[in-house]
Each structure stands twice: as C-alpha cells, then as structure tokens.
C-alpha cells in the first residue's frame, strides 16, 4: 500500500536529516510523525519514526553520554520552574542582565559594554503571587548566535525581546537580531497562528521591553519601535522606574494566557499564598486535577467566590473559572 505522504513531509524530512541539535531534531521528528497519514501503508514508517523519537529522548536525557552520541550542550535546556519560562533575548548591550538583576535575586554580570553575558542564567520573579522563571541570555547579533540559543527560545513559554531604544543604531542591530533568528526558522510573533502551514518553522510568542526609554533619545526610539512592530505588546522599561518593571511583569503574565485561582478549606480562610495556575478557560475540574487526580474524581461540587459572583455560589465541575476566583471543593 502506498504511503501517500504530503509534499511538506519531504521538505521537513530534509530539514530533519540536516539538523544536528537534538532538541530541534526531536521537535522535527514529532512533526514528521504527525504529518504521516495513519493507515497500513505507513505502519513501518511510523514505527521507525517512533524509534528515532525514543532514541533522541534518551540522548537528551543522558546528555549525549552514550558512546558515539552527539554531546548535548548543557546550556540548551533549563528545567521549567514556576508558572512559565520566559527568555530575555535581544541585541548586544540591550539591558537583559539589568532586568534580570532587578526582577530576581540572581546576580548576573552587568556591564556597559557588549557581550557581557557569556552564558544563560535563570532567576525567579513573582507577579501577584504567581512565580515565573526568567532566563538571561547572551546577545544575538551578526557576530554572535550561540549554538544553545535556538533551543532555549524554542522551549520557552514566552520571549521578551529587550531593546535599548536610546542608543543610536539600535534599529540596525534589531534587524540583524531578527535575521539571525530567520536563519534558524524561528519566528517571533505577537500571537501564535491557529494553523502552521510549514512545520519547519517554529513560531514563538513574544513581547518587547523598550528598555532605557527614559534616557536621551529614548522617546524617539520608543516611537520608532511602536511604529515598526505595531502588532506586538511593547512595554517601556527602565531600572530607574519601578512602575515600568511592574508593568513588564504584568505584561508577561497577561501574555502567558494563564490565570490564578485560590483554594480554601471548608470553615477556613482562603490561602492566597499558593495559587493554582490554569490556562484561561480552565474549569473547577481542571483546578481539582492540579491538586490531585483522585480528588478530582471524587468531587461532587464546589463553592466559588470572586468578582461578579454570588458569595459561595455553588457550581458544578464544568464551571469555567476566572482570574482571582476562590474555590472551596466538596467531595
């Protein structure tokens, strides 16, 4: 029986065979498997691809230590912590490290000269009780694009493009930044497309931090950025302006497509220190599953407190929650 593979499969297969980064190779392998029609003519092909996926996962898990395997760069992957992983990326000397320094307890190398950051560094920040992982990264330019960077961007939940809008010539450096990403078929966009026509390309959601907007020329640079990248969320930031840094954290939270809900035990006050994080549109049942699978299966009903709701309103498991709701589960 013929396989009847779609034309894009062959294009993607060529990319798969050329790719050397194991994380990207794994992503392409999963895309290839998804493109295969599911019938007897592709049974063998599916089995072979599943075996390749298994080997790639093993290579990544072992760090490529097996004899003959390609060594996996230790900087190409960070275990995710908190409600989301956000990478700070951008041209040289744009202020990524200073943002990490202000928003987290990390102490990255900060300097007034390009290429201060040599390797990625992670730190945690909190917005309204919701923790996020921020990763500072080396710059991306015509001269530099470290081999571990593409996978850091691909694996992150959100990218923050940090641009020093006060320094003359930042426009050319930003164009070079996007050109280098194009080489790796990474597309930063204000929102993810509903359908990806070409699976060789990796689309990632991003926002801008228009950094140093209070410095000389910063206002003009901010105006240019807003004109050229009108579809993106653009947050003016400065380490001298605490309010702007809070605005950046809020923009990150809003762009993640998540919400926080709080729980309370019957007869007790709500616990506002450890929220349950759900995607927007999450239900009471979804929140229960985050706590424990068995707990969700035994759930009979819940009571809800929140904006625009009756206090202690009784709801079923399929009730759609809103950001900031308080839930009291009954089993």
Distance CA 64, CA 72 (A): 5
Of residues 207 and 194, more confidently modeled:
207
> pLDDT digits over 58-74, tens only?
887 776 554 444 555 66
User: 320 with 194, same domain?
Assistant: no
Query: Which helix (H) or strand (E) element contains residue 237?
Result: strand 234-237
For residue 268, is it within any domain? yes
Tell me the two tokens of residue 306.
Answer: 């929140």
User: 88 with 203, same domain?
Assistant: yes
User: 98 with 218, same domain?
Assistant: yes
pLDDT > 60? residue 114? no
pLDDT for the residue numbered 327: 95
Rounded to an integer, the average pLDDT of 285-299 is 88
pLDDT for the residue numbered 113: 53
CB 116 within 8 A of CB 95: no
For residue 176, is it within any domain? yes
User: 32 with 88, same domain?
Assistant: no
Pick from 91, 90, 95: nearest CA to 237: 95
Of the three residues 199, 221, 256, the one that is the final residue of a domain is 256
Pick from 243, 166, 235: nearest CA to 206: 235
Q: How long, in residues, is the chain?
A: 331
Q: How far apart are the first and last CA of the chain?
A: 53
pLDDT for the residue numbered 196: 81
User: 193 with 316, same domain?
Assistant: no
Write phi, then psi, for 258 (nearest 5 degrees).
-125, 170
User: 204 with 179, same domain?
Assistant: yes
Query: Which helix (H) or strand (E) element contains residue 176?
Result: helix 170-183
Of the three residues 256, 282, 310, the one that is the final residue of a domain is 256
pLDDT for the residue numbered 292: 84
Domain count, the chain: 3
User: 237 with 99, same domain?
Assistant: yes
Tell me the two tokens of residue 140.
Answer: 């991306």
> pLDDT digits over 138-172, tens only?
999 999 998 889 989 999 999 999 999 999 999 99
């Amino acid at each position: 029986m013929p396989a009847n593979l779609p034309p894009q499969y062959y294009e993607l297969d060529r990319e798969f065979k050329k790719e050397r980064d194991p994380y990207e190779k794994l992503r392409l392998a999963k895309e290839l498997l998804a493109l295969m029609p599911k019938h007897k003519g592709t049974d063998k092909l599916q089995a072979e691809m599943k075996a390749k996926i298994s080997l790639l996962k093993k290579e990544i898990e072992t760090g490529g230590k097996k004899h003959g395997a390609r060594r996996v760069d230790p900087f190409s992957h960070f275990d995710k912590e908190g409600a989301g992983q956000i990478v700070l990326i951008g041209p040289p000397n744009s202020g990524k490290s200073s943002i990490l320094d202000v928003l987290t307890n990390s102490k990255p190398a900060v300097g007034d000269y390009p290429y201060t950051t040599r390797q990625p560094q992670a730190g945690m920040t909190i917005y309204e009780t919701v923790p996020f992982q921020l990763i500072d990264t080396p710059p991306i330019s015509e001269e530099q694009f470290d081999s571990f960077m593409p996978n850091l961007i691909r694996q992150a939940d959100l990218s923050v493009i940090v641009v020093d809008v006060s320094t003359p010539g930042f426009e050319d450096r930003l164009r070079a930044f996007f050109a280098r990403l194009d080489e790796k078929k990474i597309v930063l966009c204000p929102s993810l497309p509903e359908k990806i026509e070409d699976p060789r390309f990796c689309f990632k959601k991003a926002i801008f931090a228009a950094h140093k907007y209070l410095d000389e020329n910063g206002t003009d640079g901010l105006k240019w950025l807003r004109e050229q990248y009108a579809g993106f969320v653009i947050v003016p930031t400065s380490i001298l302006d605490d309010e702007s840094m809070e605005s950046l954290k809020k923009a990150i939270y809003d762009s993640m497509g998540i919400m926080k809900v709080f729980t309370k035990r019957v007869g007790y006050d709500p616990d506002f220190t450890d929220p349950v994080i759900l995607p927007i549109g999450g239900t009471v049942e979804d929140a229960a599953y985050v706590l424990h699978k068995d707990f969700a299966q035994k759930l009979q009903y819940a009571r809800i407190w929140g904006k625009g709701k009756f206090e202690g309103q009784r709801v079923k498991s399929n009730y759609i929650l809103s950001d900031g709701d308080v839930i009291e589960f009954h089993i």
